[in-house]
Amino acid sequence: MWVQNLNWKIPPDFGRDEGGGLYGWVRGAVDRPVLAPYSWIVEHLVLPHFVVFGYLTLLTEFALGVFLMVGLLTRLWALVGIAQTLAITFSVLNTPHEWHWTYYLMLIAHLVLLATAAGRAHGLDGVFRPNWRHSDARLARLAVMSS
């Protein structure tokens, strides 16, 4: 899902110049507010600096796709996925013809990844964890917690 949906987030303007694309969807948080504080943030912080936000979104979702695909630091990226899902939900939930269960199911999918630490089964977390667990390095301890 994250990987497939990278394709329509196109730099360098991310749809800002035509009012469509990622810009159009994010603007929904202002045009059809779901949560007032979130709408305020989008209107006063995100939209005025939209290109920076666009690149941050592209990089975040690229990393989500890559790390979840290979099962590396799965729990950390499941948390990031939950945060990103909430941001999307607060932007588009009131958009006409949106199916609200899409976003509930996205949340549930990431909660399952978080709860089961799925990367330990057939992902790189399972490959690296024995090394991390036997290391005293701070990064290794963080990796154990994130996997």
Partner 1 sequence: LDEVTARRARWLAVATAASAGFAPIGYEPLRLVTVPVAVAVILVVAGAITAVAARTRRSGLVLAVGAVLLVLGLYRLLTYGHGSAGIGGAASTAALLAALGIGHVGIVLARR
Q: How many CA atoms lie within 13 A of 137 on its CB side?
A: 6
Residues 32-91 touching partner 1, rule: CB under 8 A, are 58, 62, 65-66, 69-70, 72
Q: Cβ distance 6 to 61 under 8 Å?
A: yes
Question: Binding of partner 1 at residue 116 (CB under 8 A)?
Answer: no
- The one among 12, 19, 37, 96 contacting partner 1 by CB under 8 A: 12
Question: Binding of partner 1 at residue 140 (CB under 8 A)?
Answer: no
Nearer to partner 1, 45 or 142 (CB): 142
Which residue in this structure is represented by tokens 């958009």?
95
**Residue 116 Cβ, how far from partner 1 at the closest point, in Å?**
20
Residues 6+ apart with CB under 8 A from 138: none
DSSP letter for each residue of 22-52: HHHHHHHHHHS-SSHHHHHHIIIIIGGGHHH
Nearer to partner 1, 36 or 137 (CB): 137
Q: Segment near partner 1 (CB under 8 A), from 40-48, 84-92, 121-129, 136-144? A: 121-129
Question: Binding of partner 1 at residue 6 (CB under 8 A)?
Answer: yes
- The one among 100, 108, 115, 131 contacting partner 1 by CB under 8 A: 131
Strand ranges in 37-119 using DSSP code E only, listed in sequence order? none
Question: Binding of partner 1 at residue 124 (CB under 8 A)?
Answer: yes
Longest dimension (CA), the chain: 53
Q: How many CA atoms lie within 13 A of 124 on its CB side?
A: 11
Question: Hey, what are 24's tokens?
Answer: 């159009």
**Residue 47 Cβ, how far from partner 1 at the closest point, in Å?**
20
**Residue 82 Cβ, how far from partner 1 at the closest point, in Å?**
19
